[in-house]
Structures are given as structure tokens and as C-alpha cells.
Amino acid sequence: MKRGKLFVEYRNLPHGGEKIGIIGMGSSVIGEQPEQEIIRTVQTTLERLA
């Protein structure tokens, strides 16, 4: 299986100048989901990017 390079676009936050990636999973709800569902979501995402 051939893998390409992945690039994430970053943007500066308006206050403080921190850079953050524009892709997110809504981390405010991650703690609300069962651990196995979080793991499955991340695994599925990585498989689709491969």
C-alpha cells in the first residue's frame, strides 16, 4: 500500500497568536463518548486516509 504525504492547514487564533489545525473532531464531546467508539472513529479515519 502506497501512502502519500498528509498536509494540515493551520490558522492563527485571533487572540494570542496560537496556530491550530483546521481539522478537528469536536474535542469537547470526546469525553462524552464511550472509549471504544472514539478508538473506532480514529481508526476509521486513519484507514480512509491510507
Question: pLDDT at residue 48 above 80?
Answer: yes
Q: Can you point out the beta strands (E) in the chain? A: 10-12, 19-21
pLDDT at 26: 63
- Provide the grid cell at 47: 484507514
Question: pLDDT at residue 28 above 80?
Answer: no
In this prediction, what percent of the chain has a pLDDT beyond 70?
Answer: 70
Per-residue pLDDT tens over the stretch 10-23: 888 888 888 888 77
pLDDT at 1: 44
Per DSSP bridges, beta strands 10-12 and 19-21 are antiparallel
Identity of residue 22:
I
